[in-house]
Chain A
Amino acid sequence: MTATERSARALTRRGLGISLVGLAGLAGVYLLAIGYTPIEARQGVAQKIFYLHVPAAWSALIAFALVGLSSAMYLWLHDPRLDRFAASSAEVGVAFSAIMLTTGPIWAKPIWGTWWTWDARLTLTLFLFFLFIGYLALRASLHDPAERARFSAVVGILGMLLVPFIHLSVYLFRTLHPQPVVLKPSAPSLPPEMLRTLLVSTVVFTVLYIGLVTLRYGLALAEDVRDEVMDAAG
């Protein structure tokens, strides 16, 4: 077993461990959300989806920013580790975006009466989701590792720079078509129990991000080792 293979195994084990810790933390968040936080008077119990929805959106955004940053650094430094990290962060980002995009409509339906609203956060995350998917689809269809790394890096950087424009567009659009704000998903001043639970949930989601990315990175490393062996064997 080569040193690289050993690292790959260690990373996958550590990633799995951290992820399991994260899942345990999530169970803790559920307990807090159900037992500790108050029921919001106007939104009812459904408001508690907030404790999943907001941290998931935040994690998806962080995942995306990191894909963009490591893409830029890859084009500068050409370190394959940066490419592996970008790919891992993108995949994990898809998972978090998916959580955000499913819990969003499930929350919106009872509160706003509609499954989808083109509000800034949901729209932006939808775009992140499509950008992630495009990024991963491109990677899946390129087989030369160097070409794949370079091309994905370009998409990563361009995608990162698209985000402010999406944000600006939605903002300009919204100021023309103000949404009838029936109930704001996050109240302007949160009672302390809600704030604390939200904070805990954000930490849990960060732990999940770290665990899943580590695991995915280990997988990427293992796959690269295997590909090198297969190429050498010819």
Chain B
Amino acid sequence: MLPAEPPHNAGYMVAAYIVAPVILVGYLLSLVRRVRRVLR
């Protein structure tokens, strides 16, 4: 008997792999903006 194929759910992986760096970069950019407002 052939082993079942793994489910086709790459879309979810892509979504997660986009969401995580968006949060990180978004937060980083907000920090940089706040620093510029105070220090420059």
A and B touch in the complex (CB under 8 A): yes
Given A19-B28, A56-B20, A212-B31, A110 and B12 touching (CB < 8 A)?
Answer: yes
- Enumerate chain B residues within 8 angstroms of A53, measured Cβ to Cβ: 16
- B38 touches which of A98, A215, A216, A222 (Cβ 8 Å): A222
A49 closest partner in B (C-beta): B16
User: Is B24 in the interface zone, CB < 8 Å from A?
Assistant: yes
In the complex, are the beta carbons of B39 and A222 less than 8 A apart?
yes
Number of residue pairs A-B, CB distance < 8 angstroms: 98
| B interface secondary structure, majority | helix
In the complex, are the beta carbons of B23 and A102 less than 8 A apart?
yes
Tally of chain B residues near chain A (CB < 8 A): 26
- Enumerate chain A residues within 8 angstroms of B31, measured Cβ to Cβ: 15, 212, 215-216, 219
A123 to B24, CA, bound (A): 22
In the complex, are the beta carbons of B7 and A106 less than 8 A apart?
no
Given A53-B16, A107-B16, A212-B27, A218 and B6 touching (CB < 8 A)?
Answer: no
Contacts from A to B (Cβ < 8 Å): 5, 8-9, 12, 15-16, 19, 23, 26, 30, 39-46, 48-49, 52-53, 56, 92, 95, 98-99, 102-103, 106-107, 109-110, 208, 212, 215-216, 218-219, 222-223, 226
